[in-house]
Amino acid sequence: MMDIIQIREVIPHRYPFLFVDRIVEWTSDTIVGVKNVSANEPFFQGHFPNDPIMPGVLILEAMAQTGGILVFTVFPQYRHKTFYFAGLDKVRFRKPVRPGDQLVMKVKLQKQRSGFFKMLGEAFVDDVLVAEAELMANIDMSSVETKGD
């Protein structure tokens, strides 16, 4: 288990762009994170006021942040480097995510080579698949440690 305080020690994201509230499980190649989707999320003001739906790109970002936590936990030598999204393949959105939902992200590391990572991400609400994607990311080997607040 990893709570929000521990998550903030691992990745640099902060409100309003931190989309992982808790890590409930991880192994050397798989991680499960949780995002509690609140009606107070700032993006619901415009997406959409009369039919609030979590933007798909933010579901992907939540999966990517979960994957970043996996990478920084399993490969601590990269912990103070910048982790960048490098690409997405096979993206599918199956069902909308709404206020009150608990988004559960499952991310599995498929390939790792010298700072490049390919992962399979899936997002669920109530055990129903709502989104999936292949995520690619890489570590900026020239980046230095930055302190978030």
Would you say 7 and 23 are in contact if contact means Cβ atoms under 8 Å apart?
A: yes
Q: What is the DSSP string of 34-97?
A: EEE--TT-GGGGTS-TTS----HHHHHHHHHHHHHHHHHHH-GGGTTSEEEEEEEEEEEE-S--
Contacts of residue 149, Cβ cutoff 8 Å, sequence gap at least 6:
14
Whether 80 is catalytic: no
Of 47, 95, 98, 108, the catalytic one is 47
Catalytic residues: 47
